[in-house]
Amino acid sequence: MTTSVEPPEEREAGTGALLRRRVAGLQLQEYALVLVVIALFVAGSILKPDTFPTWDNVRNMLTQASVVGVLAIGMTFVIATAGIDLSVGSMVAAAGMFGGILVDPEGSTLVFILGAVGFATLLGSVNAIAIAYGRVVPFIATLAMFSIARGVALLLNDKLPVGLLDLNGGSFGDPAPFSLLWFGTGRIAGIPISVFVFLGIVIAGWLVLNRTRYGRYVVAVGGNREAARIAGVPVRRTILSVYVMSGLLAGVAAVLLCARLGSASPVSGNLYELDAIGAVVIGGTSLAGGRATIGGTFLGVLTFALIFSLMTQLDLSTEVQQVVKGAIVLGAVLLQRPEARL
């Protein structure tokens, strides 16, 4: 049958149209975000020429962004499955506290890291099982964990923080390699270790999402669960895995945060879930699932970091910052194409 083969010249036109569609489609938001990041940096440099465009400030911004950035990568996978994880901020606090009491009064950095990451992974697994096997709606399951993990964090040391300076193995300004504070404040070639950790997780996240079978399954489950199942995708296992991963990355974020502060606090990580979800949404990942971009999330994290650094330097209060943060997230969702919304 040769009823409907396209003539070759139309095929050429098709390639051009494809390019235009690509630019106009998924990646438009990413290109636009690059411009936003540049514009914000320029704006900051004009408004605060002495303090904003300095290496110190950039380093500071990136260090602070790396904690939420790690969470945002996990959140990208969760949202790609059309899910949500509201518990990451609470898990960060619980993970830090759990690691903290393990090494209090005495212990090693390795025990702290394994304890924190392991405990957060455990909490994430509770989310995962409730959602994948208990069929609890992700919003509710992780909202419950939002409360549970915060409560656990407060209970672990009777609402008190745990000091971690004993794990230092050096002085605050010059921590020994692979000591806890080194992960928070140490540098290689002037670049903070936590930034290396964040960038490493961004690259790994990109590869997993775009260049592995697993990543394809994650997006397929979010795009059309029934169609994914019919194509042989292990739907439950995939959903299970993203919440476990989100927990694990909350543990990593907890390590970075505690390492920077030199202590674990039961009230840390407050509203980090909003920052992470905001960065993902600004990046262009669809809240309805089926479309996810790690590059977008990375740019979303940078955008948030720049905005808040700028607002802080302009002496705007944290209350104002919260209002702005919420407004940006709302605006980003409104800008998504209609079919990508919830």
Partner 1 sequence: MAAPTLAVRGLVKEYPGVRALSGVDFEVQRGEVHCLLGPNGAGKSTLIKCVAGAVAPTAGEILLDGEPLPVGNPAASLRRGVATIYQELDLVEQLTVAQSVFLAHEPRRGPFLDLERMRRDAAALLTRLGHESIDPRKRVGELRPAAQQIVSIARALSHDVRLLIMDEPSAILDDGEIETLFEVVRRLTADGVAVIYISHRLDEIRRIGDRVTVLSDGRTAATGLPADTSTDRLVELMVGGAPQQLYPDRPRTAGDVVLDVRELRRLPAVRSVSLQVRAGEVLGLGGLVGSGRTELLRMIYGLDRPDAGEVRIDGRVQPPGRPDRMIAAGLGLAPEDRKSQGLLLGWSQTKNVSLADLTRFERGLLNVRAERAAARDQLRRLQTVPDDPDRIVRELSGGNQQKVVLARWLLHRCRVLLLDEPTRGVDVATKAELYRVIVDLAAAGVAVLVVSSELGELVGICSRIVVMREGEAVFEVDGERASERELLRHAVAPTDSADLIEEVR
Give dist(CA 253, CA 117) in Å, integer. 9
Structure letter (DSSP) for residue 187: E
**Closest approach of Cβ 338 to partner 1, in Å?**
13
Segment interacting with partner 1 (CB under 8 A) among 44-52, 111-119, 226-234, 314-322: 226-234
Alpha-carbon distances, residue 175 vs 30, 63, 167 (angstroms) = 37, 16, 10
Handedness of CA 86, 88, 89, 94 (dihedral sign): positive
Pick between residue 108 and residue 224 the one whose CB is nearest to partner 1.
224
The residue count for binding partner 1 (CB under 8 A) is 38
**Closest approach of Cβ 193 to partner 1, in Å?**
27
Place of tokens 């921590």: 175
In this structure, what are the phi and psi dihedrals at residue 212, rounded to the nearest 5 degrees? -130, 160
Under the criterion CB under 8 A, does residue 15 sit at the interface with partner 1?
yes
Pick between residue 18 and residue 110 the one whose CB is nearest to partner 1.
18
Pick between residue 25 and residue 177 the one whose CB is nearest to partner 1.
25
Under the criterion CB under 8 A, does residue 55 sit at the interface with partner 1?
no
Sites for partner 1 among residues 251-290 (CB under 8 A):
290
CA 100 to chain centre: 23
Pick between residue 83 and residue 184 the one whose CB is nearest to partner 1.
83
Helix (H) / strand (E) element for 192: namely strand 191-192
Give dist(CA 83, CA 95) in Å, integer. 22
User: Could you give the string, one character per residue 188-217, with x where binding to partner 1 holds by CB under 8 A and - elsewhere?
Assistant: -------------------x---xxx--xx
The token duo for 297 is 């999330």
Give dist(CA 290, CA 222) in Å, integer. 5
Is the separation of the CB atoms in 254 and 99 below 8 Å?
Answer: yes
Under the criterion CB under 8 A, does residue 135 sit at the interface with partner 1?
no
User: Could you give the string, one character per residue 24-43, with x where binding to partner 1 holds by CB under 8 A and - elsewhere?
Assistant: x-------------------
Under the criterion CB under 8 A, does residue 296 sit at the interface with partner 1?
no
Under the criterion CB under 8 A, does residue 338 sit at the interface with partner 1?
no
Among 46, 155, 203, 227, binds partner 1 (CB under 8 A): 227
Under the criterion CB under 8 A, does residue 5 sit at the interface with partner 1?
yes
Is the separation of the CB atoms in 224 and 313 below 8 Å?
Answer: no
Give dist(CA 20, CA 22) in Å, integer. 5
Among 228, 264, 301, 305, binds partner 1 (CB under 8 A): 228
Helices (H), 26-108: 28-47, 55-80, 88-102
Among 277, 291, 300, 303, binds partner 1 (CB under 8 A): 291
Among 230, 319, 334, 338, binds partner 1 (CB under 8 A): 230
Is the separation of the CB atoms in 96 and 268 below 8 Å?
Answer: yes
Q: Is 232 left (phi over 0), alpha (psi -120 to 50) or beta?
A: left
Segment interacting with partner 1 (CB under 8 A) among 15-23, 44-52, 185-193, 319-327: 15-23
Pick between residue 10 and residue 174 the one whose CB is nearest to partner 1.
10
**Closest approach of Cβ 7 to partner 1, in Å?**
10
CA atoms within 13 A on the CB side of 73: 28
Binding-site ranges for partner 1 (CB under 8 A): 1-6, 10-11, 13-18, 20-21, 24, 207, 211-213, 216-217, 220, 223-224, 226-234, 290-291, 339
